[in-house]
Amino acid sequence: MTKDKEKIEWYHDFIDRDYTPRDDDLVALFYFDKADSVSVDDLIGRLASESSIGTWTTLETLDDEIFKKRARAFWNTNNHVKISYPLELWELDNVPQLMSGIAGNIFGMKAVRNLRLIDTTLPVDYVNGSKGPHMGVDAIKRIFKKDVGPITSCVPKPKIGMTTDQHVQVAIDVWSGGIDAIKDDENLTSQVWNRFEDRVTKMAKARDKVQNETGEIKDAFINVTAETHEMERRVKLLHDNGFRYFMVDVVTTGFAAVQTLRNLAGDLDMAIHAHRAMHATFTKHYTHGISMYMLAKLMRLIGVDQIHIGTVVGKLDSPKQDVLDMRDMLLETEVKEHPDRNLYQNWGKIKGTLPVASGGLHPGVLPEVMKVYGTTNMALQVGGGIHGHPNGSHDGAKATVQALEAVRDGITLEEKAESHKELRQALEKWGYIQPI
Amino acid sequence: MTKDKEKIEWYHDFIDRDYTPRDDDLVALFYFDKADSVSVDDLIGRLASESSIGTWTTLETLDDEIFKKRARAFWNTNNHVKISYPLELWELDNVPQLMSGIAGNIFGMKAVRNLRLIDTTLPVDYVNGSKGPHMGVDAIKRIFKKDVGPITSCVPKPKIGMTTDQHVQVAIDVWSGGIDAIKDDENLTSQVWNRFEDRVTKMAKARDKVQNETGEIKDAFINVTAETHEMERRVKLLHDNGFRYFMVDVVTTGFAAVQTLRNLAGDLDMAIHAHRAMHATFTKHYTHGISMYMLAKLMRLIGVDQIHIGTVVGKLDSPKQDVLDMRDMLLETEVKEHPDRNLYQNWGKIKGTLPVASGGLHPGVLPEVMKVYGTTNMALQVGGGIHGHPNGSHDGAKATVQALEAVRDGITLEEKAESHKELRQALEKWGYIQPI
């Protein structure tokens, strides 16, 4: 027996095709593309080994009790493999640790050319160890006092660069045009020309004024993205100024911070708007990285109340099936398996998270977006499609609301536009084009 | 003029090939592979627009003051583009915000097939707004009282699954064999069979015993990876138990939490060992995502004291040139530009970060690793290559130290092995093979 053979055999101990996962096992589904230097079994054994108890060589320190804790590759076909993990490998309510295991070193192994974490079935015992959203879908009623969604929001554009006063003026125009919430863009935090504190106090004053004038409830998704304690300070400032929401870039801040903010949101009875900037560095290619579906699942688990998942029709990657799968995963209590796309999931006590459609939207595409989403349990984010209106942001907001009214009332945009000039002007500028 | 043309022209306003970046501009270098539907100029204009002030349509809200804040694509050739950003777009000491800008939405645009953030020149005014490592290279002297490195560390293996008592026994074997530090693996945090508190107190007791017996300074890189406040609690517990180091999975916890931990490390006079689990989900392919070089740069900027950058010879992806480039970037005060590989960087007041070689190492490959690194300002992490020793972990540790002594004394491993049976046994088991 050569030394190489001895090594390989150890990896094969992590393959068990007779194994049926227990109800409390985690099960991860991967797509893989192996390096030429290894066999399929060499690779899937390595995946199970390196993401659980293993290393690259035989060990003197391994005993039966430890070996029981191993992961098992129990099914594979067509470059897909399912790996099961005993629950006791994991620490509850610690998403960074989960990802260090199932999405850690294995992606950097020379033995894999491509590897994609598609989905993970989290056992109910694991799921119930997390908090999930504080409000989730209930934010529509609890915060905006509306019977049905969508929640509408708008980013003042240009996305950054406006002074605080310019920013607030756009907010007033948009709020008073009928939009529920003003959203910061992902790269607006606290810059010299628009300081966070200044924005918060001025936005609060403007919000109160518009609420008084319109009788409608208004809020804002103000971006707190920063170092963790600074984020906590910013969230508290928002709370002290009467906002019920805050926004955070969940990928660039990271899992540990999002968990921390979720705890704070519960304490302060606030909701989290999750922006996903940077996700496409690892979600874009279907053969490598981590799926957007998996990222969205982790965010529901941690407990953001709403998260961007794509528009289908906008400027960003978002195939229709992906959006529908994520919508279901975010909203349903029990999610069915679809081979190669997603695994079964029972969400236990965890509330649903609202999906957010965003990116390149304008009034002309809203009927299509609402049709694809097939639910009003959602948030709809329009930026350039409001401010690019020929008559400015206020009329852009009105055009957006008019388009949604048309959808709600089951009439076409053309019909609605006959009696609503703001919508008509929007359609004249953009028609029904889909920006790329 | 069609509406489509109007839209495209707006993106072209973000291209300025006559522009010379100011000393206080940030400059990012990207590799790109465009979608068929757009021209190169369409794409690079979009990159500059979407990562700064822009959006997908013309806007009524744009004025000259805002337009001055735009990013500019000022150079491109062979699928590479450089984009400059005015300093005032950024908030100092806020790495999540930086990444939300230069590594955010642009990766998800339909207009790009592939996009890679290779490097960024951070102006000195920006760099000096961050903390950088509290100890960095000085940890060799300050913590271990050694004149020269490498710092040696070892992960008890199997990587997870041992009880606390088993784990601590391995630690004693390894420390007493001459290794400086015991490192947790990335997926060991606080599991039922090895609780964090239990591990810390027992490891502290064992450390004191071995220090007394050997007269050598011993420490541990114990993994605090969790939600942020829980991590802070764990770091304080380590501090209270006399450890000078803690370890954290910097990608799975995220930039916001790492910044928080860096602040705490300064307060407690501790050093941070950074594990990079999950990095390869976005660093693996040279055509997409973010380079490991860029990630390591951000970690020096935030201030981890040591970070894994690969072994060249081990089981993980790590081409030699990449490792050498990262070594220089982590250790030097002024880093030279290498076209297509990295940009110029002046590190201002920021200390150097120690590179860590890890993954698939054993005594037989250490001379090659030390030769490639070309410096003793580093940390060397050996796991399976110690515990897989035919005579167990203690002798594995001795064999590792003997191999390093041979390198230091300029003799071959064969010569050293003549008088050192532990090294001889290691060479008999593994020889000089490079695991894959």
Q: A3-123, what's its fold?
A: Alpha-Beta Plaits (3.30.70)
Identify the band that residue B310 occupies on the pLDDT scale cut at 50, 70 and 90: confident
Partners of residue B61 in chain A, C-beta under 8 Å: 156-158, 162, 166, 170, 387, 392-393
pLDDT of residue B1: 28
Whether residue A145 has pLDDT greater than 50: yes
Mean predicted confidence (pLDDT) in A266-293: 98
Catalytic residue from among B131, B157, B297, B416:
B157
Give the strand order in the sheet containing A112-121: A72-77, A80-85, A26-34, A112-121, A289-290
With CB atoms and an 8 Å threshold, state whether A96 touches B193: no
Check pLDDT > 90 for residue A436: no
Is residue A370 predicted with pLDDT exceeding 60?
A: yes
pLDDT, residue A315, reads 66
| Tens-place pLDDT, residues A186-236 | 999 999 999 999 999 999 999 999 999 999 999 999 999 999 999 999 999
* pLDDT score of A384: 82
User: Is the pLDDT confidence value at A75 over 60?
Assistant: yes
Residue A114 is encoded by which pair of tokens? 């491509």
* Average pLDDT of the residues of chain A: 93
Given an 8 Å threshold on Cβ–Cβ distance, is B256 in contact with A393? no
CATH code matching the domain that covers A136-430, chosen among 3.20.20.110, 3.30.70.2740, 2.40.30.170, 3.40.1160.10: 3.20.20.110
Residue range B329-354, pLDDT digits in tens: 999 999 999 998 999 999 999 999 99
Residue A167 is a catalytic residue: no
Greater pLDDT, A67 or B199: B199
Residue A314 has pLDDT above 70, yes or no: no
Separation in Å, CA of A76 to nearest CA in chain B? 21
Closest Cβ opposite residue B255 in set A160, A166, A254:
A254
Q: Among A256-270, A332-346, A422-436, where is mean pLDDT lowest?
A: A422-436
Task: Give catalytic status of residue B80 as yes or no.
Answer: no
pLDDT, position A157: 82
| ipTM for the complex shown | 0.95
- Nearest CA to A255 among A142, A91, A432? A91
- DSSP H/E element including A77: strand A72-77
pLDDT class of A6 with cuts at 50, 70, 90 = very low
For chain B, the domains span 3-123, 136-430
CB A108 to CB B316 under 8 A?
A: yes
pLDDT of A316 higher than 90: no
Query: Over 60: is that where the pLDDT of A56 sits?
Result: no
Residue-wise pLDDT for A90-136, tens only, equals: 999 999 999 999 999 999 998 999 999 999 999 999 999 999 999 99
Of B66, B191, B278, the CB nearest to A161: B66
- Cβ separation of A51 and B263 shorter than 8 Å? no
Angle at CA of residue B281, ends B279 and B286, nearest 5° = 90
